[in-house]
Amino acid sequence: MKISDIYKKAVQMGIDADFRSNEYVAKLLERRKQKYEKLSGHEKAEFDAESLTNPYSDTRVLHVADDREIKKVMCGIDIEVGEILLAKELGDIDLVISHHPMGRALADMHEVMELQADIFHQYGVPINVGEGMMKERTSEVARGINPRNHWRTVDAAKLLGINLMCIHTAADNISASFVRDAITKGNPERVEDLMEILSGIGEYQQAERLGVAPRIFTGSPENRCGKVLVDMTGGTEGPPKIYERMAQAGIGTVVGMHISEDHKKEAEAAHVNVVVAGHMSSDSIGMNLILDEIAKQGAEIVQAGGLFRVSRNK
Ligand SMILES: [Fe+2]
Ligand SMILES: [Fe+2]
C-alpha cells in the first residue's frame, strides 16, 4: 500500500460510516464543486482543492517525504514533535498517522462540524434549529483554532523526512457508527444496560484496566435510556444549548467521548443522561478499524501516542 491508497481507503471508510447517506455526501461534494468554479483570484488560491473529493477537511496527507511502499505504520491519537522523533529513532517507520488533526487539517477542522446539524435532525431536532445553533458554535471553534501553531509537528516531519498524515472525522464517523450499532443491537432499557453494552467493546475493556472506563456523567444507572444519541463525530463539541432541544426531540441519553462542564450543566438541566465513553478509547475504535484494513495489506502497526490498539482481524 502507498500513502495515497491508505488516504483514499480511510476517506471511503469514513463516507461509508457517515450518518448521512452516501448520496447526500456526494451531493455536498457536488455543491462545493459548483461553488469552487465560481471563485476567482485569491479566493480560488486559498481554496483547498482536496475538499472537492474528500468531504472531511480534517483528514489529510500532511507530508510525503518518500512515497514508498508502506510496511510499518506508527499510529497515535495525538502525534506531536516527540512522536516524530520517536519514529525517527525507531528507524523503520514508513508512515506516521495521527488521529487528531494538524496543519491545514486543523486550521479547517471546523468545516466538518456541519454534519452535526444533520445528525441532530435525524434524531428529531428541526434542521433550521440545528443549523442555526451550529453556525454560531462553528465560528466560535474556528476562532479558537485560529491562533494555534498548526504546522509545528508537520515541520518536524519535514526536517526528519517522516511521512505524515492525519485521519480525524473519517475515523470518528467509524467510531460513532460502531458504537451506535452495538447499542442498537443491545437495545438497552436503562443506563446500566447501556454501560454493560459498552463494556463488551475491546477498547473500553482496555480503558477499564487503565482507569478510564466509560462513566455516567449525568443521570443514574437506574434511569431509562430513552432514545440514545451517539455524539462522537463532527469535529468537536457542539453548542451547549442543544441539550434542551435534544430533550424536546425525545433524546434521553447522549453517549459521547468527552464533555465540558458547560455541556454537562445544560444536559443536567434538560434531564438528559450523559455517558462519557472515554476519549482515547473511543477515538481508538475508528482508528483501529482503519488500521485493521492497513494490516490486512501486510503492514505492521506500531501503537503510540495514546492509541488503544485492538485488532479485529482474524
Ligand atoms: Fe476523534
Ligand atoms: Fe479526539
CA–centroid distance, 245 to ligand 1, in Å, is: 24
CA–centroid distance, 191 to ligand 1, in Å, is: 23
| Start and end residues for every CATH 3.40.1390.30 domain found in the chain | 3-169+282-304, 174-281
The partner residues of 149 in beta bridges, in order of sequence, read none
Q: What pLDDT was estimated at residue 77?
A: 98
Three-state SS string across 37-78, please?
HHCCHHHHHHCCHHHHCCCCCCCEEEECCCCCCCCEEEEECC
Ligand nearest to the CA of 166: 1
How are beta strands 95-98 and 72-76 bridged, if at all?
parallel
Q: What pLDDT was estimated at residue 302?
A: 98
**CATH number for the domain whose boundaries are 174-281:** 3.40.1390.30
Pair 160, 92: CB distance under 8 Å: no
CA–centroid distance, 233 to ligand 2, in Å, is: 9
Fold of 3-169+282-304: 3.40.1390
d(CA 194, CA 149): 39
The partner residues of 75 in beta bridges, in order of sequence, read 97, 303
Q: What pLDDT was estimated at residue 216?
A: 98
Q: What pLDDT was estimated at residue 268?
A: 96
CA–centroid distance, 90 to ligand 1, in Å, is: 26
CA–centroid distance, 86 to ligand 1, in Å, is: 22
Ion ligand 1: residue ranges with CB closer than 5 A: 172, 283
Contacts of residue 77, defined as CB under 8 A and 6 or more positions apart, other chains included, come to 98, 99, 100, 279, 280, 283, 284, 287, 305, 306, 307
Q: Whole-model pTM? A: 0.96
Pair 287, 267: CB distance under 8 Å: no
Ion ligand 2: residue ranges with CB closer than 5 A: 283
Q: What pLDDT was estimated at residue 116?
A: 94
Q: What pLDDT was estimated at residue 207?
A: 98
- Mean pLDDT by runs of 10 across the 314 residues of the chain is 98 97 96 94 90 96 97 98 98 98 93 93 95 93 93 98 98 98 98 98 98 97 97 93 95 96 96 98 98 98 98 96
